[in-house]
Amino acid sequence: MPTSRPPRIKQQRKIFFTLAWLNAFIGGQQTVEADQVVREWLATANIDAGVRLKVLQVVDDLDRTVKIRAQFR
C-alpha cells in the first residue's frame, strides 16, 4: 500500500465510503502474508489517525480469518 494514498483519498474525497473501500480491499484477503503486509504498513506508515482506526477495524476481520483458517488446516 502506498503511504500517501489513504490521506490523499480523504483530502480529495474521491472515495466517499472509505470504510467500504477498505473492507473490499483488505476484507477480501485471507492469508497470513496479507495480514503481515497490512500490519507492517500500519507500523511504518505515517497516516491520518482516522484512517488508521478504519484500517484497524477492517484488519480485525482479517486477523480473525487468518486464525480460523490456521486452526482448521
Chain mean pLDDT for the chain: 82
pLDDT category of residue 1 using cuts at 50, 70 and 90: very low
H/E element, 69: helix 49-71
Retrieve residue 17's grid coordinates.
465510503
Report the number of distinct structural domains present in the chain: 1
Give pTM, 2 decimals.
0.68
* Whole-number Å distance between alpha carbons of 68 and 38: 18
DSSP tag of 73: -
Residue span of the structural domain in which 26 resides: 5-71
Q: Cell 480473525 identifies what position? A: 64
> Using H for helix, E for strand and C for coil, what is the string for 47-59?
CCHHHHHHHHHHH
